[in-house]
Amino acid sequence: MIRQIPNLMTSFNLITGCVGIYFTLSGHKIEALYFVLIAAFFDVLDGLLARSFNAKSEIGGQLDSLADLVSFGVLPAFYILDLLKEQTSFFWAGILIVLFSAYRLAKFNVDASQTGHFSGLPTPANAIMITSLFLLPLKLTVSFLLFITFLSCFLLVSPVRLLALKFKNYGWTGNESRWILMIGTIIFSLIFRWAFVPFIVPFYIIVSMASLLAFKITRVRLK
């Protein structure tokens, strides 16, 4: 029975994503962001519990990808679509996010090397970036929204290596970048509150790039 708890968390992720889609289509942007954040919490929790209980399974992996596609693929796609539909006939461009999110998830499922790092932007991070756009202190013009849509699609499937928050242990050594990312996010969130949410993903990318550069420099010095 305890081995089913991770799948239960994944189910909560899926349900939360469906509720978030409802709020997205109803024009309730802040509620949509809330539910993306809650879904992301369940997504992290199911992985932690699966590893803690040694309860990884083929069904759990498939269910996780399906839930992620709904919560972090369909939801942000309709979010962009809803923002664009009254401004341009190109509003269907938002659907591209579903396609690229699905490819990103499929690519992750067959790539065993994505453990300490991800290849491309994880779908939860992408969904947070998109659903927090309304918090930016600028007008969400058609050109800006289309730019974000195409940038999102590119980041999802790009070969860029980004940190995975998977701790083999909770010590500082070997996890320096992960702790910097987590502590920095908490500090900036406390200082800037909701205004920092749209900048979480850029901060994540910067820390990941800095981590990769530091790793390369260290490896060169060891040679």
Give 94-109 pLDDT, tens digit per residue.
Answer: 999 999 999 999 998 8
Q: Which stretch of 63-77, 103-117, 186-200 has the lowest confidence by average pLDDT? A: 103-117
Report the distance separating Cα 126 and Cα 11, nearest Å: 20
Q: Which stretch of 59-63, 131-135, 139-143 has the lowest confidence by average pLDDT? A: 59-63
One DSSP character per residue, 94-149 reads GGHHHHHHHHHHHHHHH-TT-SSEEES--HHHHHHHHHTGGGSSS---HHHHHHHH
What's the pLDDT band for 149 if we cut at 50, 70, 90? very high
Question: Residue 41 CA to chain centroid, in angstroms?
Answer: 11
What's the pLDDT band for 130 if we cut at 50, 70, 90? very high
Q: Sketch out the chain's domains with CATH numbers.
A: 2-162 (1.20.120.1760)
Closest C-alpha among 172, 180, 123 to residue 152: 123
DSSP 8-state secondary structure symbol assigned to residue 71? I
What's the pLDDT band for 69 if we cut at 50, 70, 90? very high
Q: Model-level pTM? A: 0.90
Q: Between 20 and 159, whose confidence is greater?
A: 20
Indicate whether 203 pLDDT > 70: yes
The token duo for 49 is 């519990």
